[in-house]
Structure 1
Amino acid sequence: MRHVILAGVLALLPVVAGAGDDCTEDAMIVFDGSGSMAEMGFNAIGAPRIGEARDAVRQALPQIAAMRRLGLVIYGPSGDRTCRNVELKLEPQWQADGPIIAEVEGLDPAGGTALTEAVRLAAETLKYREKPGAVVLVTDGKETCGGTPCQMAAEFAREAPGLTVHVIGFKVRGDHWDWGNPEAEGVSVARCLAEDTGGQYVNAESVDELVAALRVTLGCNVFGALTTDPRLR
């Protein structure tokens, strides 16, 4: 029910004139391009995760990019297709929706999930020790490249109180197979990044929910006004 409320209500919110005045902090999107994003649902039913994620990015970013400077880090499809695959694609800039959408459209999911290294690169791009900023991690899985996201979260909280990390868990699945509910939601190990830095953790299971989650985490006060609702936690 909370997903329906999140997607349905936020989809109706307009872009408010002058909203960019409240979006003074740069934001970095960290996008999961690892091999699991090419997977489909249980029993090979449904669209690959990457297809739905692309749809959501196309829908959400044009409005958000008009309000704040955005940048992009992608992990997964480059390097040797294992764990040396984290790449800064775009430093924060205005009207970044076109370049970001093009990068997401063009990636070929492969490789491991180096989400800790990717978030750190995004934070460094924001110069997180010197000024406030926001990182939004979109991930469908766990850290598989030896990183320790919770240790990094504690470091951020200690050294950079102006840095906020939001985590969107997209079709995250639990650790244990459930024959009664094989598509049961899980929680990303990166949740601590949000909890320790004052960000939000949001699960998304559909294109509409992912659009809503991007709006909540990236849209400043325009879309963020509803985030006090405990159903979004």
Structure 2
Amino acid sequence: MRSLVTAGLIALTSALAPAALAQERPSTILVLDASGSMWGQIDGINKITIARDVVGDIVSDFPADQNLGFVTYGHRERGQCADIETLVEPAPGTAAEIAGIVEGLNPRGMTPMTDAVVTAAQALRHTEQAATVILVSDGIETCNPDPCAAARALEEAGVDFTAHVIGFDVRGEADALLQMQCIAEETGGRFLTADNAQELNEALREVTAAPASGSFTFTANLGGEEIGDETVWERPAAPLELPLLSGEVIWEISDTSFNMVQTGTANPFTTDLPFGDYIVTVHSTAQDDFSQTEASLALDSARNVHAIFPPIMSQPPAAQVFGPAQTLVGSAFTVSWEGEGLAPRDYVTIVPADAEDGAYADYD
């Protein structure tokens, strides 16, 4: 185990519906570390002072009707890993109260980072909503021997838990960076760094902002023979000039864990989606086929997603064959045929009446 350093932490824990759209507002718990390391300085300013200013700015922008709560730890006594306290239960209109509490915090204790995050995540578990924890830490856990393993255990236990981690003033601290990055990766979150007040503010706003959304159009097209036997997916800036697939087209859009996000039967199918990564599946009744692809939908990506199906092989032209109903064994008889689209090298093969398809005996 690598040596641990004293840590300071800010965490935001959000209850977010599994397929939440941008306009939905999650309940949020702000968890702020008041451990002794927060008296460290950046450019001559104590980190707790920076945190007070940043947190004040962040909570002031929360909508008044959004549930917001506050938890802190390490603020009452030194050397106590159990020093974790919920000071404001999640409720609307608590931003000013929280800002006042943060302004009066006096860092002094340990950093039970993992237990505070686990407590917050499990407290929201009864809502059957996903828990999103945003950590801003200036170091490593000082109470739990392996917060990375604890995060992994939460995932394995079925707690819908995602941690976005921001390393605050951890440049050059390899152990801290590795452990914080691991926490993010184990829970499917993002890892960011911030070296000063402005970067901390920007990073917090980036990970606390509601996911932006955009309008995307999904189209099933019929391509030419040159695309081969498999469906081809394209995301051009402008719609393709290809014929639309006939028949019913069913679209299923899920997240990367295959949780369904959106469905539709139109062709083209246009829908609003939060920017992110998706699994897109298209079913064609006319083609009696389906295809699936991964699609990353972002602000700067193309808004047109095309599934280009290969053409159905057309049936060969019908032909009529003329000949005697019966003839003597060993005698010659005439066979002729006619039909549209026949070629000079077409032929008739003669096989026993009970021969299997594809058998070959003689031809003319």
Q: Shorter-normalised TM-score: what interval?
A: 0.7 to 0.9
In the TM superposition, residue 133 of structure 1 has moved relative to its aligned partner by 2.3
Partner of 1:202: 192
Identity of aligned residues (%): 35
1:115–1:147 CA contact under 8 A, matched in 2: no
Q: Hey, what's the Cα distance between the residues in 2 that align with 1:20 and 1:95? A: 21
Could you say which structure has the larger radius of gyration? 2
TM-score (norm 1): 0.72
Higher-strand-fraction structure: 2
Q: How does 1:113-192 map to 2 (within 5 A)?
A: 113-127=111-125, 130-160=128-158, 162-175=160-173, 187=177, 189-192=179-182
CA drift at 1:72: 2.2
Distance 1:67 1:217 in 2: 20
Counterpart position of 1:214: 204
Aligned CA distance change for structure 1 residues 119 and 34 (closer, same or farther; 3 Å): same
- In structure 1, runs of 5+ residues without a counterpart are 1-18, 177-184
Gaps of 5+ in 2: 1-20, 214-273, 277-297, 300-364
Deviations 1:160-206 (A, max 9, x none): 36322222221124347xxxxxxxx9626233222122222221112
Equivalents in 1 of 2:65, 2:113: separation in Å? 26
SS in 2 for 1:203: strand
Q: In the aligned structure 1, how far is the partner of 2:126 from the partner of 2:132?
A: 9
Alpha-carbon spacing, 1:209–1:52, altered in 2? closer, same or farther (3 Å): same
TM-score w.r.t. length of structure 2? 0.48
Structure-1 residue corresponding to 2:60: 62
Q: State the match for 2:23 in structure 1.
A: 21
1:199 aligned partner, one-letter code:
G
- State the SS of the aligned residue for 2:167: strand
Give the CA deviation at 1:107.
0.7
In structure 2, what is the equivalent of residue 38 of structure 1? 39
AA aligned opposite 1:187: L
Report SS of the residue matched to 2:41. coil
More relative contact order, 1 or 2 (CA 8 Å, 6+ apart): 1
Secondary structure of 1:142's aligned partner? coil
CA distance in 2, matches of 1:32, 1:188: 20
How many residue pairs get matched?
198
Q: Deviations over 1:102-150 (max 9, x none)?
A: 2211110111111111111111222268322222222211111134211
Q: C-alpha distance in 1, partners of 2:87/2:178?
A: 24
Paired residues of 2:67 and 2:92 also in contact (CA < 8 A)? yes
Are the equivalent residues in 2 in contact too, given 1:128–1:162 (CA < 8 A)? no
> Which structure has greater helix proportion?
1
Assess, with a 3 A threshold, how the Cα gap between structure 1 residues 128 and 168 changes in structure 2: closer, same or farther: farther
Task: State the superposition RMSD in angstroms.
Answer: 3.0
Pairwise CA distance, 1:29: 2.3
Cα pair 1:77 1:108 within 8 Å, conserved: yes
**C-alpha contact (below 8 Å) 1:138/1:168 kept by paired residues:** yes
Partner amino acid for 1:197?
A: T
Is this contact kept in 2: 1:134–1:166, CA < 8 A? yes
Displacement after TM superposition at 1:32 (Å): 1.7
CA distance in 1, matches of 2:275, 2:52: 25
